[in-house]
Chain A
Amino acid sequence: MKDGLRQSMAWVHTWAGLLVCWLLLLVFMGGSAAYYKHEITFWMKPELHKAADAPSTVTPAAAATLAVRELQQLAPKANAWFLDLPHERNPLIYASWTNPPKKGMTREERRAAFRTQNVTLDPMTGEKTAAPRDTRGGEFLYRLHFDLYYMSAIWGRWIVGVAAMFMLVAIVSGVITHKRIFKDFFTFRPRKGQRSWLDAHNVTAVLALPFHLMITYTGLVTLMFMYMPSPTKALYGAEQNTMFAEVFPNAERVKPAKQFAPLADIAPMLLQAERAWGQAPTRIVLTHPNDASARIVLHRPAGQQLSNIEPTMTFDGASGALLSGPKPMSATLDARGAIYGLHVAHFADALLRALFFVCGLAGTAMVATGALLWGVKERQKYAKVVAKGGRVGFGVRLVDALNIGAIAGLPIAFAAYFWANRLLPVEMASRSNAEANCFFIAWGIAAVLAQIRPTRGMWRIQLTAGAVLFAGLPLLNALTTATHLGVTLFGGPGLRPVAAFDIVVLLLGALLGWAAWWLGKPKKAAAARQPARASTARDDAVIDPKPMEAA
């Protein structure tokens, strides 16, 4: 370490960050969106909006009774029923079931069958709502941020895992190398070229450091059994599932008695759970319905603890008797649950969720400013060449182009995904895949155009395109559905997610539009001082109007 710790760490920070920054942008944007995956899914299924508009006055016990009655019609012979009752973020009842596997069915076929075995129910009547369009909604964005797409989930998770590890290295080395971390704590100096980009990078990184560290570390922990399989292998050999069964508090597996027994009334069970927890359960799993060994498992709603493993109460489905209350968990499992829970933030109410989302956006901004900073710094080496009408080096050009394609191009891809949701024909075959393809087609076009002409003009074009697409979403929603902002803002609480989606995309559009405007604004001071350079600069991708001065 001949250069001293700080300089060495600066090198590590630069390269660990730069190598994975474009993938991290995708992960950060997708992950931030995933905090609202239910709301996004609901927005993307406008067929459900009508049923959600009715003021919901039913109690959870009544809703559960209605849902059970409907499932008795739809799937009386199912292996298990899964029920999600209405709550703050979800105005409807979601019910799904698994059937006993037929002989010779492959795993893929069973999965495909399960995808069709679900219904959405109107909580007022218990009847099926209008069938929603085929879309993966927010689930696509959630999966995208750790499974990627067009490859097996395992590959995606390894790639994202490596990027997350680089990110962790970049965070730690960044803290070490930042020698004015306290002196510059509140410092942001605009219009000072490289200085300003560094300030922006510091402010978005340091002021949300607890979040950035937490989200990166906990993200790795969510997949720890995949990334670090050795401890499990040492203890359990190849039988990883045995470990999962032993460690995680699954409902005991009961074999069906193959003897008919009518299901007991579910309402008293919900009331009993509500008395014990102070909150009515919203997630219910019924195994072997209409069998003598039926079990009904009620999950406590999230919001009281960090851990994502919520306590459950198990009832005998035939007699209705409480079989077991919440089981005590080991401290290790509780700690793991809390770390996992911090990442997925199921416990977060509306306000805390918004804080997580804003911190996620700050993470995006941190990665983006870091990537831009590399270009701004590196470009200075070419200042004299560029002033004589020459070109910047290949590396700078490549990074500039990738930056445009990721920072300005990804918002276009997200917006294109939402536009596709409304514009693709509702009856289209494999529609949900087509929506995902639109995401990547839009991103691909943006990335290729950026490679062809990585200029300031391209920045403005792509930022403007993203701004128009995002800000146009509420308008598109108004033209294609009956639940536009004029309705949703004054409608019942069931439509609040739709209104919130419209407002947030409008704000994001405004933010992108502001960025495009800011880039196009004539830089008075710089232009006045250096008129010659401004007019002769051939490659004008320079984000920084006066790079030399900042050096």
Chain B
Amino acid sequence: MADIKLEHISKSYPPDVKAVDDVSLHIRDGEFMILLGPSGCGKSTTLRMIAGLESITAGDLYLSGKRANDVDPRDRDLAFVFQNYALYPHMTVQANLSFGLRLRQTPAADIERRVREAAEMLGIGALLDRKPGALSGGQRQRVALGRALVRQPAAFLLDEPLSNLDAKLRAGMRTELVKLHRKLGQTIVHVTHDQVEAMTMGERICIMKDGRIVQVGAPLEVYRNPADTFVASFLATPPMNLLPARVEEEDGGGLAVVHAALRLPVAEAYWAAYAPYRDRPVILGIRPEDMYASAVPGGVAVDLRIVAVEALGPETILVTEFPGGAEVSSRLDRAFVGQAGSPQRLYVVPEQMQLFDPQTTLSIPRSRADLRPDHRSAQLRASPGATLAG
């Protein structure tokens, strides 16, 4: 059992490359935390610093309340699963699994039992006498996981453990890992660049970019309330549509957000929040699933031209463009039929739009309550458009 606390942690490489920059994060005991970000964002380096495989340039790392910056990796009681598994190629699966225990002089009977248990749990009992070279990618992955399991460490650190698996196996292992976490209740820090993994596995997601944390929160909370345009465009495929827009004054005295022919009136409750942006440019964000092919209550119609229709089976991704040229994606029902080049009317519910400041790229809060994450999710769930998707 371990809680892991990072306080203002930085990692620089000479001459002056900053891989991780002032990262503070509290991973609670028993939590499944995801470090998510594009390659080079510092997520793996952060994980390796927790493990002790990488020295910490500045800041403090606390493991279960004790400062651990200078503690040797072997004394941190953490298990690490590597992206390419890092099995010992000259040892059998059995020896790979038991190596850590043998080094710690665990009694033989104990080793035997723990290896058997882990092998059973992961379904690799029949492979114990084989060497890694004779295993498939999925089997190696399980052995790597097993090696971590038998140690019964305080926490598991997983560095993109699923990225070398094929799509089907990956989906299966995602579920397995979540089940495993539920069963063991151990702290897990899982690094990935795959937003599907992040959304489906984590209790909380920590999104990183350029060595800094951009946002931390529960998956849906981060999804519904992205802190900036980076998070908005990183989570989900297709990502949130981001359009250059302006906040303009309506004839009746209210406000509207305008992009080309799309004119979205701002609800009166938000006038105060958006007032500072009057007559100024903003970035308008609309999730693809918040664009509808048929009229919805409160929906504003906009006429677009179809660029491409991607029928995925369970749903259809429609790519359309504004007369001005900006492209937007929408996630529609699988029954949707359309022809590239033909006009298409779509509907947008103004309450579902999000605005970002073009200078800072940060999300513009609509009210004080908006800053409280759960509020917005609840509000969205209650909104009429959400139930009428497609």
A, B from the same assembly: no
